[in-house]
Amino acid sequence: MAISVTIPLHDLKGLLPDQLRQIATDLGEPSYRGDQLFEWLHVHHARDLDGMTNLPARFRQVLAEAGAQMPGLELLESSASDTGKAVKFLFDLGQGENGQGLGQVEAVLIIDGDRRTACLSSQVGCALDCKFCATAQMGFVRNLHAGQIVEQLHRLHQEAQRRGERLTNIVMMGMGEPLLNYEQVTCALRLARASDGQLQIGGRKMTVSTAGHVPGILRLSEDDLNVGLAISLNATEDETRSQIMPINRKWPIADLMAAAKTYFDRKGRRVTFEYVLMDQVTDLDADADRLAVITSSIPCKINLIPYNELAPGLQMSDRVYRRPSSARLDRFTRRLKNATRHTVTRRDSRGRDIDAACGQLHRRVTDAQSAVSATPQPA
């Protein structure tokens, strides 16, 4: 007799506790079997059903026959920065049903004082074509499942544990645009905060970064996650921002600022504006003045990021972007601080020496791009 399961089973690790309980009852088991499944997946990090020894053999067999899968990530390499402030991991997603490779993603453990932050990827590649970002060269390949996002988190947590520490924060700032994979990203964050999981990281310690996907920002403002929002602004007027971030042609700065204000009004959390300083592009005195003006009505923090130059061959346009001089960085920072009441910080990205800093995550995908059936997502 065919067994009917109302919840897809292709990504067990990406299912919430109540969904696992529903699966258990759909398969004729008591609901607590779903809690046991969750523990195996998120505490013991089981890689297959056979190892879940406190589950009845028949239940495991029925799960397998119903198509239950736990797609994992294979660690290909890891590299630590010379400063000891970042460790980058390269993961392979394995093969699809057609035998083609699904691609590779990178994740970074960031070490900063008492904080241990997991910087996670949400997509293989990215559709948004930001001209200064290495990930953009890959184009959009595929969205990650929630389980694949959570698996990155577990691997970084294991690295922190190996050091005698634990993860404290999560930032969705790796490869991809998180708000173009909204359902899977928010599911992964809910799993990270689950009270019966191993991590139990609260929404106040989570941040979702976006290049400016206005509908996604508004949707997130209505979500119960209450995570932090970081917006990659990177220019102060539409002409420049549209050149370096094509998403601005659809949602210009005025629309983006209105969405940021809505987010604060609904969540009561200050928005963080990330602003990459590129020599003679976004670091002019006029930029500092305009940045103070356009953020004046939004409770926010402004995080200045000196541009992390890309390796030769990874530039996405005819223009080669450069990091400003130290003197120019100091001048811009002083001018902005004098012009605004908001908190202004300047962050030298961790992991520049291992290409793990902001905008540097990139992996060439060999056969995955030709194999993927999904079309690039519009902004």
* CA trace torsion 303, 209, 137, 254 (10° rounding): -80
Establish whether 358 is a catalytic residue.
yes
Q: Is the separation of the CB atoms in 180 and 129 below 8 Å?
A: no
CA dist 343 and 348 (Å) reads 16
The CA distance from 246 to 241, in Å, is 7
Element holding 105 (H helix, E strand)? strand 104-112
The two three-digit tokens of residue 12, written as one number: 């067990």
Backbone angles phi, psi at 77, to 5 degrees: -165, 160
| Locus of tokens 């050149």 | 243
Helices 253-267 and 214-221: angle between axes, nearest 10 degrees: 10
Pick the catalytic residue: 106, 159, 274, 309? 106
Distance CA 120, CA 123 (A): 10
Helix (H) or strand (E) holding 209: strand 206-210
Active-site residue identified among 126, 133, 187, 358: 358
DSSP letter string over 253-267? HHHHHHHHHHHHHHH
* Catalytic-residue membership of 126: no
Token pair for 360: 């540097």
Helix (H) or strand (E) holding 107: strand 104-112
Please name every residue paired with 116 in a beta bridge, in sequence order, or none if there are none. 111
Residues contacting 1, CB < 8 A, separation 6+: none
Strand partners, 273: 231, 302
Active site residues: 106, 358
